[in-house]
Amino acid sequence: MLRFTVRRLVHGVLQLFVIATAAFLLLYAAAGNIGRTLLGPDATAATVAAKNAQLGLNAPLLSRYLTWLGNAVTGNFGASWLTSQPVATAVMTRLEVTLTLVLGAIVVSAVLSAVLGVWAALRGGWVDRLVQVISVLGFAVPGFLLAVFLVRAFALGTHWFKPTGYVPPGISFSGWIQTVTLPVIALSLGTIAGVAQQVRSSVLDALRQDWVRTLRSRGLPEHRVLFKHVLRNAGGPALSILALSFVGLLGGAVIVEEVFGIPGLGQVSVSSTTQSDIPMVMGLVVAVGTIVITVNLVIDIAQGFLNPKARLS
């Protein structure tokens, strides 16, 4: 298991290096005249040239990349070209907010998906049809449309929750609950739909296996067969879907944060990308890439624990 974990960790570091290198080269290749973009069309040619020189854009691209890489390894991603705020500080401040929403959505999705998927697989009939209807609705309804509905129904209509803004839990736990509940629900619906269907299919497939009939013939209680054996074998595919959903939720959080006015990665991603703030964009790429690779590593380790055959793949 240790060799399996180390091998996955090395692969993750190499993936992050490739992602960061490709992003750096593509961003500068597509940026054009950065000084002109930052200063606007009314700036003189001399002012634009001075701005490019100030930002170090006159140096060769390879030299700029090596300088950035050497600083990034030490945790220094430079300062924003727009606000002069350190990139690491700006990203970490907003990352906490976005991860709160995404992790909350993952936990809610995992719990409800497991309950709905197992319930549909064991009961069948109208329960199975109901879960499939919920899954279809979850896929069909866009997250931003659900977010708008939740704001109108439960924030503006009933005043149970706050329609916009974010309150850190350290300031007010009840205020934090009021600001994150609706965004988490909006993010969770599509994930619940996909994972519940996967759990249902995996549980049904496991229940048809000969080893399940063998366990039952030995007199093992049904709950022990289900929770100790069937769910362990059915958990691998569901974990894979959750990992993919996590990546999708990071993207979906951009839109949901805009609807609810939450100061997460979504707002800074949109502003820095549209205004060619390359240091900030690179900080976001590294942060998001690290999160995605870490989640995949955790899922791989979990699958290796659930299914020893996965360690050999």
Of all residues in the chain, the percent with pLDDT exceeding 90 is 4
At 305, the pLDDT band (50, 70, 90 cuts) reads low
Rounded Cα distance between 248 and 230, Å, is 28
Q: Is the pLDDT of residue 140 over 80?
A: no
Q: Tell me the per-residue pLDDT of 281-304, one tens digit each, with 9 for 90 and over.
A: 899 999 888 888 888 787 777 766
Query: Thinking of the domain 87-312, which architecture would CATH place it in?
Result: Orthogonal Bundle (1.10)
Weakest mean pLDDT among 50-59, 103-112, 142-151, 224-233:
224-233
Mean pLDDT of the chain: 81
Q: Tell me the per-residue pLDDT of 176-189, one tens digit each, with 9 for 90 and over.
A: 888 888 888 888 88
Rounded Cα distance between 26 and 20, Å, is 10
Query: Taking the alpha carbons of 39, 42, 43, 48 in that order, is the dihedral positive or negative?
Result: positive
At 22, the pLDDT band (50, 70, 90 cuts) reads very high
Weakest mean pLDDT among 140-149, 233-242, 251-260:
233-242
Ordered alpha helix ranges (H), the chain: 2-31, 34-39, 45-54, 61-73, 87-123, 125-140, 143-150, 173-207, 210-217, 222-224, 231-260, 265-274, 278-306
The domain ranges of the chain are 2-73, 87-312
Q: Tell me the per-residue pLDDT of 226-251, one tens digit each, with 9 for 90 and over.
A: 776 777 777 677 777 777 788 778 87
At 18, the pLDDT band (50, 70, 90 cuts) reads very high
pLDDT at 307: 60
Q: SS in 3 state form for 144-169?
A: HHHHHHHHHHHHHHCCCCCCCCCCCC
